[in-house]
Chains A and B, each alone.
Chain A
């Protein structure tokens, strides 16, 4: 494969490191979620994350990349023309990244495909049947993630053609996973004993460690989405850190003022909400806009997690909807307001910079992605629930998923 003259070694190194950082986010997410569930279920969370690294890691190179980024079919999905990475070599693909080998772009994108389904494991935590989970994510990756990625980022994708701006996956990753989480937690039902039995986090130090890994890895997720070690990457890096800092601060302050004490779980959750919200916007907005976006993320996600959930009554065990769907949607809309073409010539201006049209495009994207992901999640759930079953038996839920699904216990049989 030729074309090596256009390859930039700095860009390539940056994207490869970025890919490694994004992969680290999946074990980071596993710790973030794992610490929040009860002792008897932590391994099930870790297993679901790690099996996704394995499953999607293979699926992506076999056909996922082709469906998402391959030759366009009706603006809705890629074809299987690149199955087994046929034609995907070391020459750059200018449709996506002109200065790095296409396989670098491909493997970077693989990590996004891996972590997206990992996000919604929080919604059905502590009651999901592993076999049902396995079938669900296998199908969701191919039937929801890959098409949506094609719409937003694929060459020929209809939202990309419409001018949608989603720098690193506010729609493709957070909104789609977040709404799927809501659908799943409603369909699978509440945990046994929800609102009666205490279900407090069993290891918050893990959760905080996970948050640190996520924040760190997110620099790969966001800044390396510039696909080049350039000004846009710098902008994205600065926006990412600023928004998550502002969001964490906001959540802590809200708790401090309205509940009396700030909590570490709240501060960490706020930071994650900020990270999710800035994801679509980081390549297009400036640092001061990032502060505003971060504050909005902290406040709105706080309300979604504490008030909306209590009012509606769903058991979204780990607040995937409240943090990722609300955050991703909010961030995608914020792009329509705060984007500045001056920061990224490949982007556009938002409403506050003289271009109200962008906001309309963003709304279209948010609505379409959420609707599609929700509908398909319902269909997939119903099919798999009827064939395999999605929820464990009551006694398996009581015993805990670690033992019932994996015959393992996290903290040893003896207390030595």
Chain B
């Protein structure tokens, strides 16, 4: 099993979710995060005081999938999240040791 972690632009979340469910992914977790890579931040002004904001809002999607699905998932996310502009994000892949369904106790690929 593999864990796929994707950091994407927030407005792309719906497109990515649809693309993943279309290839049969049954669940995912998302969190609202902040980060930066090469994309520049912005400046805010309050009563003349300027604040440079480096961290940009992003969305992190995490999903655990069977090894066989890995290439499909990476393709689906990449295509759906791409805008061609700096700040589109990154995908990271991790090996997963174990996976358990809490309700039934199923393990391994039966649990994901």
Q: Which of A's residues lie within 8 Å of B, judged by CB?
A: 36, 198, 200-201, 259, 261, 263, 265-266, 269, 305-307, 310, 319
Is residue B46 within 8 Å, beta carbon to beta carbon, of the partner chain?
yes
Contact B51 A200 (CB under 8 A): yes
Q: Is B71 on the interface with A (CB-CB < 8 A)? A: no
Nearest 10 interchain pairs by C-beta: A306-B48, A198-B51, A200-B51, A305-B47, A265-B46, A200-B46, A201-B46, A265-B47, A263-B45, A200-B44
What are 6 A-B contacts with C-beta separation under 8 Å?
A36-B46, A198-B51, A198-B53, A265-B46, A265-B47, A305-B47
Chain A residues near B48 (CB-CB < 8 A): 259, 305-307, 310
Residues 33-71 of B, flagged 1 when their CB comes within 8 A of A and 0 if not, give: 000000000001111100101000000000000000000
Find the B residue at minimum CB distance from A198. B51
Name which residue of chain B comes closest to A307, CB basis. B48
A259–B47 contact, CB under 8 A? no
A306 CA to B49 CA in the complex, in Å? 8
A310–B51 CA distance with the chains assembled, in angstroms: 15
Q: How far apart sit A164 and B47, CA to CA, in the bound complex (Å)?
A: 33
**Chain B interface main SS type:** strand
CA gap between A266 and B47 in the complex, in Å: 6
Q: Tally of A-B residue pairs with Cβ under 8 A?
A: 23
A265–B48 Cα distance when bound, in Å, is 10
The distance in angstroms between the C-alpha atoms of A269 and B46, with both chains bound, is 11
B residues near A266, Cβ cutoff 8 Å: 47
Interface centre among B44, B45, B48, B53, by most chain A C-beta atoms within 10 angstroms, is B48
Given contacts A200-B46, A263-B46, A319-B47, 9 further A-B contacts (CB under 8 A): A36-B46, A198-B51, A259-B45, A259-B48, A265-B46, A265-B47, A266-B47, A306-B48, A310-B48
Residues of B within 8 A of A269 (CB): 47
In the complex, what residue of chain B is closest to A201 when comparing beta carbons? B46
Bound CA span A200–B52, Å: 11
Within the complex, the shortest CB–CB distance from B55 to chain A, in Å, comes to: 11
A307 surroundings in chain B (CB, below 8 A):
48
**Which of B45, B46, B47, B51 has most A Cβ within 10 Å?**
B47
B1 to A: closest C-beta gap in Å: 29
Q: How far is the CA of A259 from the CA of B44 in the complex (A)?
A: 12
Shortest A207–chain B CB gap in Å is 10
The answer to whether B47 touches A306 (Cβ under 8 A) is yes
Residue of A nearest to B44 (CB): A200
- In the assembled complex, the CB of B95 is this many whole angstroms from the nearest CB of chain A, namely 31
CB nearest neighbor in B for A309: B48
Complex CA distance for A259 and B48, rounded to whole angstroms = 8
Q: Chain B residues near A36 (CB, 8 Å)?
A: 46
Chain B: minimal CB distance from A126 (Å): 15
In the bound complex, residues from chain A placing their C-beta under 8 Å from that of B45 are 259, 261, 263
B45 to chain A, nearest CB (A): 6
* A107-B45 Cα distance, complex, nearest whole Å: 41
Residues of B within 8 A of A319 (CB): 47
A303 shortest CB reach to chain B, Å: 10
A306 to B, closest residue via Cβ: B48
- Measured in the bound complex, the distance between the Cα atoms of B46 and A297 in whole Å is 19
B residues in contact with A201, CB < 8 Å: 46
